[in-house]
Amino acid sequence: MVAAGRGERLGGKVPKQFREIAGVPMLLRALRPFTSHPEVAQVVVALPAEDATNPPAWLKPLTGGSLVLVPGGAERSASVAAGLEALSPACEIVLVHDAARPFVERAVVDAVIQTARTGVGAVPALPLSDTVKESKEASSTTVERTVPRDRLWRAQTPQGFPRQLLVQAHAAAGGEGASDDAALVERLGHEVRLVPGSERNLKVTTAEDLRLAELIAKSVGESKE
């Protein structure tokens, strides 16, 4: 579970992963589908160093046993690498999930696990429905072309991999980051497969995303329990 960032785009004094959604901390919501999953043997959470040492009061009682906290890094890849090092040697399949995705569904987790067990990478994703425009330059507002969307997908997490494949991908990257772990595996030329994602599995990045997350939580009747 990658939760070492500060969520600066969301703003506020409280780190994004600790912000409440309908009364429940975002990180706790993200953890529940994994801590309650019968096939997940261990969960490692990469947090800012100070929070890994002194976690919030609601998180501290949950640690120990199958839930471990580790200091994350300045970059996402460093946090994932720290999590990999803390895993039990018995773990053969690894799922990497963003704490900013608090509503992943069991069906998505199951599909990722099943696909990763075949020896390939697994990424939940949704087909892109919007028309995509490419600008002439990164800062330009002039359209260069319309990009065909037939083969474009929106990637989500958790992403699943055979453990040794993910370890190899991070070692080969040599600290060079990527937007997700699947990209590191792709660089090695290994197969990554898409599995059905979920519209509910949104990533909370902005204040508007947080408002949408509140609506999702209330619409499914989730409580503080």
The kind and range of the H/E element at 124 are strand 121-127
Report if pTM > 0.85: yes
Q: Is 3 a domain residue?
A: no
8 Å CB contact between 149 and 128: yes
Q: Is 4 a domain residue?
A: no
Q: Is 9 a domain residue?
A: no
Domain with 204 in it: 16-219
* pLDDT recorded at residue 225: 40
Q: How many domains does the chain have?
A: 1
Does the pLDDT at position 8 exceed 80? no
How many other CB atoms sit within 10 Å of the CB of residue 220?
A: 10
Q: Is 10 a domain residue?
A: no
What is the full DSSP assignment across 173-204?
A: HTT---SSHHHHHHHTT--EEEEE--TT----
Query: Confidence band (pLDDT; 50, 70, 90) for 7?
Result: low
> What CATH code is carried by the domain that includes residue 134?
3.90.550.10
DSSP reduced 3-state for 117: coil
Q: Is 8 a domain residue?
A: no
Q: Is 42 a domain residue?
A: yes
Tell me the pairing of strands 93-96 and 159-162.
antiparallel
